[in-house]
């Protein structure tokens, strides 16, 4: 198997200035694997849901080439549920409800056909669960990437540091990078964090794009300027899924290819925020993606003349 | 004459987490014309100072090819003085002192040899003074660019709108664009503002780079990620001066060339913030500039493969 993802498969209820939803399907694992499916078929997902989770969603995942053998379905239990309300600027949100449900005692099962995957993506989850997945692989993947959030820095820092030390790529946002490194300058933060283990650091800056750090190299990918951001939920997961899906599909971990992978992730994230939840990700075609990636080229490309 | 700038030539006293200065030379006009001088010699500045202003600074400007015939020196009066203190994140600051002094009744004189300039840069000043300079030119420049700030939106909006309607390029920051357009989305704001007159809009986003809008085209220039921002004072003026200096030197107002001009402005701004005031701008060489512009290429360039 080329890529394995561990991450929540869940229900979200979202309110934005543009409208609100009932319970819809969300979760980091869902966004990551759907996003990665634009680039490759041979992937699996590890997660847990309750018996209230729609089988149609699992069937849909399979049509996208996602092996769901790693999703445990807990009879008599309920799926993880998150509800949130975005502020008018869409840059901040309040969590209204968090019901951990099946996630509370999540003991990840790594099916045998997943255990020799080339690439492993650890979606935002308890660092202990993330580490268990690494330990339950039969062989060490070529590249392990990890997402996390400030919540785990607050309540499980020791655990988190241990997991971080085991991965190749850490993907976090600017505030999280500052909290983790205790440095305000992202250039300084990138050095402190890479000294914790990951050779490669990606700092997401939302509407301000993303930075990729490796050795002395820095690459900056802009976010596409959009007229409206309809729903930012899952944008970071979509970005991570596009990044790892692109890397896994091309089987190339060079810095040059990681640049392309970040643009791919940014392009998918720019679609994801156009509608609620995963809706937009289920609509777009390969042609849509090629067009949008071309927009990123146009947005940033310039030819510099040597000065006189 | 190729380029004329109107803008304050002033004293600043600056406090940052890295240190503090006594009164040093600052002002939008100073930063703009010093920055533009990296690309061209044939430029003039329009401003006003008191008899307390050091003649050495005016002499230094001349050595950089800046014609100071448009700087009025008011006997018995004092130069504009601003004092401010930056917060720890360097993204916000408190103004401690503003003494308008000679700026209070600034009646700009446009010397005859300035009156047929090809390019005109209106530094941040009262919109009435900016307009007077346009009106006192003998012929309409090929391109007029204008900087302004929220202060003028608050106290002189009608005047400001009139001046904005007369220029080709408006250069403001993201907060100002939102205030002026009453739109949060910068894509929407860019349309509202360009309907006010300027064909071209540049939105500065500080450490997050800058956006250039013209017709249906958008270009994004990143800011160089820096380990430390020592003093952001004048960074926006340095950016604007680099932009207009590059355009004036190349005498090319195509969109492709404006992209290069924005990178040139961003590169100079990235130097400017490395030391207090204009100090760094007086040190760097053409070679330093070429090197830094190359860093911008490396930071953003990628080759996109067509997806399978």
What was the ipTM of the complex prediction?
A: 0.90
Number of Cβ atoms within 10 Å of the Cβ of A255? 12
Q: Which residues of B244-263 are buried (b: 16+ CB within 10 A; e: fewer)?
A: bbbbbbbeebeeebbbbbbb
Residue A35 pLDDT > 60 = yes
Q: How confident is the model at residue B111 (pLDDT cuts 50, 70, 90)?
A: very high
Residue A236 pLDDT > 80 = yes
pTM above 0.90, yes or no: yes
- B290/A306 Cβ within 8 A: yes
Whose structure tokens read 């080229």? Answer: A297
Of B187, B256, B299, the CB nearest to A218: B299
Whose structure tokens read 């107002």? Answer: B253
Confidence at residue B88, expressed as pLDDT on a 0 to 100 scale: 80
Cβ within 8 Å of residue A104, ≥6 positions away: none
Q: How confident is the model at residue A307 (pLDDT cuts 50, 70, 90)?
A: low
Q: How far apart are CA A144 and CA A139, in angstroms?
A: 12
Residue A308 pLDDT > 60 = no
Which chain B residues have a beta carbon less than 8 Å from that of A296? 304
Confidence at residue B304, expressed as pLDDT on a 0 to 100 scale: 79
Per-domain boundaries in chain A:
3-300
Q: How far apart are CA A186 and CA A165, in angstroms?
A: 20
Instruction: Quick: pLDDT tens for B253-284.
Output: 999 999 999 999 999 999 999 999 999 999 99
H or E element that contains B83: strand B81-86
Cβ–Cβ < 8 Å for B304, A256: no
Interface test with A, best of B38, B208, B247, B265 (most A CBs within 10 A): B208
Of A208, A218, A297, the CB nearest to B304: A297
Of B184, B228, B260, the CB nearest to A305: B260
Of A185, A227, A302, the CB nearest to B263: A302
Instruction: Quick: pLDDT tens for A120-173.
Output: 999 999 999 999 999 999 999 999 999 999 999 999 999 999 999 999 999 999
Confidence at residue A88, expressed as pLDDT on a 0 to 100 scale: 81
Confidence at residue A228, expressed as pLDDT on a 0 to 100 scale: 87
Number of residues that make up chain B: 308
Confidence at residue B307, expressed as pLDDT on a 0 to 100 scale: 59
Cβ within 8 Å of residue A178, ≥6 positions away: A184, A186, A189
Mean pLDDT, range B25-35, rounded to an integer: 98
Q: How far apart are CA B84 and CA B164, in angstroms?
A: 28
Domain A3-300 falls under CATH 3.40.1190.20: yes
Q: How confident is the model at residue B303 (pLDDT cuts 50, 70, 90)?
A: confident
By C-alpha distance, the chain B residue nearest A306 is: B290
Whose structure tokens read 């995942």? Answer: A61
Comparison of pLDDT for A92 and B235, the residue scoring more: B235
Q: How confident is the model at residue A306 (pLDDT cuts 50, 70, 90)?
A: low
B119 vs A253, B64, B72, B145, CA distance in Å? 48, 18, 21, 8
- B289/A304 Cβ within 8 A: no
Instruction: Quick: pLDDT tens for B128-168.
Output: 999 999 999 999 999 999 999 999 999 999 999 999 999 99
Confidence at residue A90, expressed as pLDDT on a 0 to 100 scale: 79
- B187/A225 Cβ within 8 A: yes
Confidence at residue B306, expressed as pLDDT on a 0 to 100 scale: 61
Instruction: Quick: pLDDT tens for B191-228.
Output: 999 999 999 999 999 999 999 999 999 999 999 999 98
Which chain B residues have a beta carbon less than 8 Å from that of A211? 225
- B297/A307 Cβ within 8 A: no
Interface test with B, best of A178, A220, A290 (most B CBs within 10 A): A220
* Least confident interval from A82-91, A119-128, A250-259, B97-106: A82-91
Average pLDDT of chain B?
95
Return the C-alpha torsion angle B50, B55, B60, B62, nearest 10: 80
Cβ–Cβ < 8 Å for A210, A200: no
User: Any bridge partners for residue A217, and if so which?
Assistant: A214
Which chain B residues have a beta carbon less than 8 Å from that of A299? 218-220
Instruction: Quick: pLDDT tens for B164-194.
Output: 999 999 999 999 999 999 999 999 999 999 9
- A185/B227 Cβ within 8 A: yes
Q: How far apart are CA A298 and CA B3, in angstroms?
A: 30
Q: How far apart are CA B265 and CA A178, in angstroms?
A: 28
Q: How far apart are CA A136 and CA A123, in angstroms?
A: 16
Which of B92, B83, B91, B79 minimizes the C-alpha distance to B15?
B83
Whose structure tokens read 């449900």? Answer: A101
């Amino acid at each position: 198997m080329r890529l394995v993802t561990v991450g929540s498969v869940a229900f979200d209820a979202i309110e934005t200035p543009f409208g609100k939803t009932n319970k819809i399907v969300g979760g980091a694992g869902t966004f990551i694997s759907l996003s990665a499916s634009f680039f490759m078929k041979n992937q699996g997902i590890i997660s847990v849901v309750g018996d209230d989770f729609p089988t149609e969603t699992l069937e849909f995942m399979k049509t996208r080439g996602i092996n769901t053998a790693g999703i445990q379905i807990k009879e008599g239990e309920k799926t993880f549920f998150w509800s949130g309300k975005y502020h008018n600027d869409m840059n901040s949100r309040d969590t209204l409800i968090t019901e951990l449900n099946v996630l509370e005692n999540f003991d990840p099962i790594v099916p045998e056909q997943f255990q020799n995957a080339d690439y492993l993506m650890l979606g935002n989850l308890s660092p202990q669960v993330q580490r268990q997945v690494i330990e339950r692989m039969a062989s060490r993947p070529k590249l392990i990437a990890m997402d996390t959030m400030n919540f785990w820095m607050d309540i499980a820092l020791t655990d988190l540091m241990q997991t971080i030390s085991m991965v190749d790529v850490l993907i976090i946002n600017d505030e999280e990078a500052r909290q983790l490194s205790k440095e305000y300058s992202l250039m300084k933060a990138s050095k402190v964090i890479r000294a914790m283990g990951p050779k490669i650091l990606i700092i997401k800056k939302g509407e301000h794009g993303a930075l990729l750090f490796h050795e002395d190299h820095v690459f900056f990918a802009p976010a596409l300027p959009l007229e409206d951001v309809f729903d930012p939920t899952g944008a970071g997961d979509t970005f991570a899924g596009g990044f790892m899906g692109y890397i896994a599909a091309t089987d190339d971990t060079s810095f040059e290819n990681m640049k392309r992978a970040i643009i791919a992730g940014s392009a998918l994230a720019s679609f994801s925020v156009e509608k609620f939840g995963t809706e937009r990700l289920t609509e777009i075609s390969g042609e849509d993606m090629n067009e949008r990636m071309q927009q990123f080229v146009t947005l940033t490309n310039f030819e510099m003349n040597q000065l006189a």
